[in-house]
Amino acid sequence: MTKKQKKVLIRIIVAAILLVILHFVPLEGLWLGLLYLIPYAVIGYDILRKAVLGIMHGEVFDENFLMAVATVGAMGLGEYSEGVAVMLFYQIGELFQSVAVGKSRQNISALMDIRPDYANIEAEDGSLEQVDPDDVEIGTVIVVRPGENIPVDGVVLEGNSAVNEAALTGESIPVDKNPGDAVSAATVNQSGFIRCEATRVGEDTTLSQIIKMVSDAAATKAPIAKIADRVSGVFVPAVISIAIVTTIVWLLAGKEFGYALARGISVLVISCPCALGLATPVAIMVGNGMGAKNGILFKTAVSLEEAGKIQIVALDKTGTITKGEPQVTDMVPAKGISEEELLGYAYALEKKSEHPLAKAIIARAEEKKTVLQEVSDFQALPGNGLRAALNSDVLTGGNMKFISNETAVSPELISEAQKLAGEGKTPLLFAKGGKLLGMIAVADVIKEDSPQAIKELQNMGIRVVMLTGDNERTAKAIGAQAGVDDVIAGVLPDGKESVIRSLKEQGKVAMVGDGINDAPALTRADIGIAIGAGTDVAI
């Protein structure tokens, strides 16, 4: 909570305590009214001040004015506790709204925090100089070492590496980068030493554009809020007019001025926007309580309102439908080779590799308690291949193109590799001494409960769409396993946001995501749902 929010909370607590105490005070009339002015002033100061300022600036017809007139009127009629109570609950509602807005701003600040801290620039003497990424100009050559964040958008000039682009694309499997390939700010260079030329810097980088989109989307008002703005411009003057007419009618009917005025004030009290100040916060608390019991947190009243109207659910693939980390899915040993032998040789080779796909094989081998054989002369070769010496034999591993240059691959195995690739898996082949050992497929597998969850959404009459930065073949394979209605592949962060825009033309849309890359789409959707395992920014 901010200092201002804490002060409001203190005033709410103090006013509530005073209200309870005064309920038991054995006084009546004027003296009791004077005592009730204390909690009323404590809790109503801000509203009264805004109402007075509104009058001074000619902006009379707003919620603050009506709240002030209604509660002052209640106090004037001798309904002291009611006047204080209405103002008290109204301020509670205002506090809820303030906290929600503050959290939105914190999320945008969190996006800013993932920006790289420095860029390595080559000096004339060949040494590396660290500079602020904002000081990098287009065309500048930067150096990125293993484990460092890429500071700006650019293109690889020299070197080979696997780059983790999860911060932008959400995809867990890193992308191999070679000379000529594009790289983006805030992605992580995981294995090799690369030199890049800056192509987009400062506010033009992909990350900066994401931050701008989130800020813009968060600043837009919900449709119901816009309607409320339009209604309030008519509602407040209409209520005041009715109160005046009521007073005049009772005067014409022969009643005393005090009697007629009381009836006019009654109109204001009855018309006081209690739905905003009392009913809405209570409804939010009840809804939040029920949701929390089921592991669901609602951010605002609008979220509660829109949830029941959803017609389309857009699901991010990685980390939402899938587990978000690669695992071994298939073992296809060559003739005369057992699965244990294939895994043992693959383990010996991949144990030396820094490539993320190697972690899946290492994890499977350690799970099976496979004995590690030590290799020597290890090399990570351009073109997605590994080579090392095991005793007197050469051990190699990599993709189909690489292994095909090392040894003969049977048509049956080629067909099986194509089948696995069509299922969204990455086939890795291994050979020893020029003889094929077999193939191990690695993939980001779907969560066990994803198909059931998607089926339940469809049974509710909701159309389910899967969005992903993956290629179309991989995406369709995962989509078929999960049972979604539609698959939209090859979508980058700005693309996800634009897809949500187009889906909104077809109905109310909920976006479900877990990564920083999903943030613009989450904010653009009618309702954004961040899963608990996701990043803080998405949540």
Minimal CA–CA distance to 523: which of 300, 252, 266?
A: 300
Fill in the DSSP letter of residue 148.
P
Tokens for 303, please give them: 């979220």
Axis crossing angle, helix 3-23 with helix 29-56, rounded to the nearest 10? 150
Minimal CA–CA distance to 529: which of 212, 315, 284, 218?
A: 315
Alpha-carbon distance of 64 to 53, in angstroms, equals 10
Give 82-147 as a DSSP string. Answer: HHHHHHHHHHHHHHHHHHHHHHHHHHHHHHHHTS-S-EEEE-TTS-EEEE-GGGPPTT-EEEE-TT
8 Å CB contact between 44 and 71 = yes
The vertex-202 CA angle with 196 and 205, nearest 5°, equals 65
Give 340-372 as a DSSP string. Answer: HHHHHHHHHHHTT---HHHHHHHHHHHHTTPPP
Asked if 204 is an active-site residue, the reply is no
Alpha-carbon distance of 155 to 141, in angstroms, equals 10
Outline where 351-449 has alpha helix (H). 356-367, 400-404, 411-422
Alpha-carbon distance of 266 to 513, in angstroms, equals 49
Cα distances (Å, whole numbers) of residue 364 to 340, 342, 378: 11, 12, 21
Catalytic residue (choose from 153, 316, 444, 518): 316
Q: Tokens 């929010």 belong to which residue?
A: 5
Q: Tokens 């739905």 belong to which residue?
A: 275
Alpha-carbon distance of 276 to 418, in angstroms, equals 60
The vertex-511 CA angle with 506 and 516, nearest 5°, equals 140
Long-range contacts of residues 530-534, Cβ cutoff 8 Å, at least 24 apart: 531/319, 531/320, 532/295, 533/319, 533/324, 534/319, 534/320
Q: Is 259 helix (H, G, I), strand (E, B) or coil?
A: helix
State the distance between the two ends of the chain, measured CA to CA, in whole angstroms: 18
8 Å CB contact between 524 and 492 = no
Q: What are residue 388's phi and psi, to 5 degrees?
A: -160, 165
- Which residues are tagged catalytic? 316
